[in-house]
Each structure stands twice: as C-alpha cells, then as structure tokens.
Amino acid sequence: MITEFELQGRICSLLPEMTEEEFWHEMIGFIEKNGWLFGGGLEMKKISGCISQTSPDMTLEKFSEIFHGFLNGNGWYFDGEIKMLSISLMDILDDELTEKKSLGLV
C-alpha cells in the first residue's frame, strides 16, 4: 500500500517581503528534511499536489500535525484541505497493464 497526502489550498500570513523563491525553498526544504517527495504545484501562497514517501504508518492526523506545526512555526497557516490517498501496488500494476494493452504493447 502506498500512501500519499493531497494538499489543496493556500498558505496564509506570509511576510510581505518574502519572495517566491524564499517561499519555495522553505517549503521544499521542510518536505525534503522529512524525507518526503512532493509532486504538484507550489506557488507563492498556493499549494496543490501530493506528498509521498512518508512512513508506512503515517496517519492523516499525524501528517496534519507535522504539516501545521511547520507552518505555525513560521507564523503561517493553511486554508485548504488535506486528504489521505491510499493506493495498492496491485492497482498500480493493473493500471500499467491496462494502459499497455490499450496501446497494443502487450
């Protein structure tokens, strides 16, 4: 089972003098420090994507606690939604096989 956390929302209360590059480095640094991967869009004040490669036993509550703790430590807050997505390896393999069959590759 692969677990990802989908983030859709805005990061609020950024300092007015903060540049988009500083924001990006701060957010990606936090994600990498935790050993996670991020896929999606990350713009000044906006995040839309998934964080993966968290620990196998990571719950939505624990992830939210860590994520909000990071934001609060910077004086920011999140206005949006966090969802936990679970995908089985069998679903991934099935999708790959179905895609290859539809392309005539199998």
Q: In this structure, what CATH number is given to the domain that contains residue 20?
A: 3.30.70
Q: Is 9 helix (H, G, I), strand (E, B) or coil?
A: strand
Gap between the Cα atoms of 18 and 28, Å rounded: 15
Q: What confidence tens digit (pLDDT) does each residue in 19-75 have?
A: 999 999 999 999 999 999 999 999 888 899 999 999 888 999 999 999 999 999 999
pTM of structure: 0.79
The total number of structural domains that make up the chain: 1
Q: What confidence tens digit (pLDDT) does each residue in 77-100 have?
A: 999 999 998 765 555 556 556 655
The predicted pLDDT at position 53 comes to: 92
CA atoms within 13 A on the CB side of 19: 3
Strand 2-12 and strand 46-52: pairing?
antiparallel
Domain with 81, as residue range(s), is 2-102
DSSP 53: -
Query: What radius of gyration do the chain's Cα atoms show?
Result: 17
